[in-house]
Structures are given as structure tokens and as C-alpha cells.
Amino acid sequence: MATLKDVAKLAGVSVSTASYSINGSNLITEETKSKVLHAAKEIGYRPNGLAKNLKEQKTNIIGLFLSGFTGPFFNDMMEGIQDVVMKMGYEMVVCASVDKHRLLVERYVDGAIILNYHMDDELLGSLASEKLPIVVLDRNFKNPFIKNILLPNQLGSALSVRHLIEKGHTRIGYIAGSEESYDGESRLKGFLSELQNHGVAFLDTDLIRADFTELSGYLEMSRFLNRQNNDLPSAMVCANDEMAMGTARAIQETGLQIPGDIALVGFDDIYVSKYFTPSLSTIEVPRKQWGTLAATTLFKMLDGQLDFEPEPLTVKLKVRNSS
């Protein structure tokens, strides 16, 4: 690998002159700069950006830390983040990790956006500082150097319940995801709370656990239908659209009709939900706006602004043929 010393030797200048030239110093003549840059190009020299920026304790990199990339939900959110990052002249690295989190722990990033339940509160609290601000999307965290930007999950579930009760449903089941998911459990909490507000009882046997994928929704709903025989809720609310689509497939395979026998409501309004058969009633989540707001908030913190609260997000019910 070519070094700065190799560049200096080829250009016939000192190492310090080569360094000044590559960094665009006004102390060096244009003729010398040109000679040094030509030499660097000839031997394929690339300056170590990280080493250079460590002097300023900056990397100009933002880290997005996810628990995984499964499903279509993340695309719009990441696009929103990336748009802001590029506008600010930074780069973004996206990491999916379970235990190491090396890029964050070793501070290879100037700031971080977290949607990763594998990162515990103690770790984030110990790392967050004025020089390493953090935005979390998956928990409620009280720390001067951490901002929370959370979806109004409970509101979304409440909208689904109200809609189904208005349709006359008095027994409503629920398909939840992993208990480790902040968003998933918030959605379940909102569902149960709204049922209680309307005086509608919930049977523990009508709670199904899957893992947010379409396949898991299909498999778990199939087991539920076999187990319950004909003792079924007249409606199901799902913690995301993918599980709702798998649930619909399981219902249809038994010969039951949607929404005639079982009405169905999802959550997230992913792109394919309106083209599904039947088209899926769901909760519209502003995914790109969520990402944009997360990145904008992080850059405000990087600019030294800490005493503010991010603007709240909102969700809407999209009524389609499944309910």
C-alpha cells in the first residue's frame, strides 16, 4: 500500500510538504501541489481520512444501528435519514449487530441513530455525550445527550380498535410480535387499553405471538385456527402488515371470508398492503418522515443544540377491504 512517504519521494519533496499539499494548504504553491497530487494519483495513494479527522475528533460519519434489515419497513425510514446525511455532507454506515457494536463503542461515528433492541440502556447511557449524541427510535430514554423519536404506537392501535368496535365487533383477537420489541409491545398495550376503555373483554387465548414476518403470521394463525375450531374472534388486529398478510392467507385457506367471517387490520401501511387481496386496512406510519426527523434531530445535537424536544409524529387509519 502506498504511503505519504512514497508520494513525497516520487514528487521530490519532503513528507511535510506532501502532507500540506494533499490537505490543500495555502502555504504550498499551486505548482508543488499539482506535482504532489500527480504523484499520489500515479502510485494510488489514498489519505487516511479517519486518521486525519481524529485530530479534530471527527469522522463525518453517522451510524444507523439496527437489530436487523428484515422486511420492507426500513427502506423508507433509511431513505429519510440518508437524504439529510447527504445534505449535511456526511456519510452514513448502517450496522446490524447483536453484541459487539464496535463502531459505536470505539467511536468511529460522530453520532448514532438506534433502532436495535440488542443495545441495552446501560451501554447507550455510558456512551452518549456532547461529542457523541444519540437518537433512539425504540425506547423512552432520559439522558441529556439522547433524544427519543417514537412512533405513536398506542394511538395507532386505539384507532384500529375504535374502527372495529364501530363495525360491531365485540370479540377481537391480536397477533403480537417479539416481546423484545418496544414498538410491538407499545402496539399491544394500546390495543388492550382501548378495549378496556370501551368495556370490551379480551380473552387471553386470543393473543397470538409471532415474529413480525409474513411466514410467522401464517404459521401461528394456522395453529390458532386448528386449536380453536369454530370458537373464533370476529376480527384480528396485527402488530404489523406482514403478519397480517400471513394471517389472511391462513384464514382464506380454511374457507373463511375476510372480512365477512374475520375482519383484519394491520399496522405500518407498507407499500404492498393496498394491493393485497383483500386490500389491507392498516395504520399509516410516516416512515420517511420518521427517518428525516431522526437525522435532523441528530444534526441539531451535533451543532450543540440540546435543549429542545423533537416534533411529534402522527399516524392515520387507512380503511380498506379487509375490515
Same domain, 199 and 261: yes
Same domain, 196 and 206: yes
Number of domains in the chain: 3
CATH number at residue 38: 1.10.260.40
Which pLDDT tens digits describe the chain residue by residue (323 residues)? 677 788 889 999 887 788 778 767 677 888 898 898 888 888 877 665 555 555 456 889 999 998 876 667 788 899 999 999 999 999 999 988 777 677 887 788 999 999 988 888 888 888 899 989 999 998 998 999 999 999 999 999 999 999 999 999 999 999 999 998 899 999 999 999 999 999 999 999 999 999 999 999 999 999 999 999 889 999 999 999 999 999 999 999 999 999 999 999 999 999 999 999 999 999 999 999 999 999 999 999 999 999 999 999 999 999 999 99
Which 3-state string (H, E, C) describes the chain? CCCHHHHHHHHCCCHHHHHHHHCCCCCCCHHHHHHHHHHHHHHCCCCCHHHHHHCCCCCCEEEEEECCCCCCHHHHHHHHHHHHHHHCCCEEEEEECCCCCHHHHCCCCCEEEEECCCCCHHHHHHHCECCECEEECCCCCCECCEEECCCCHHHHHHHHHHHHHHCCCCCEEEEECCCCCHHHHHHHHHHHHHHHHCCCCCCHHHEEECCCCHHHHHHHHHHHHHHHCCCCCCEEEECCHHHHHHHHHHHHHCCCCCCCCCEEECCECCHHHHCCCCCCEEEECCHHHHHHHHHHHHHHHHCCCCCCCCCCCCCEEECCCCC
Mean pLDDT (the chain) is 90
Same domain, 185 and 305: no
Same domain, 216 and 93: no
Q: What's the pLDDT tens digit per position in 129-156?
A: 998 999 999 899 899 999 999 999 999 9
Same domain, 279 and 178: yes
Range of the domain at 30: 4-47
Q: What is the pLDDT of residue 45?
A: 77
Q: What's the pLDDT tens digit per position in 241-275?
A: 999 999 999 999 999 999 999 999 999 999 999 99
Q: What is the pLDDT of residue 5?
A: 81
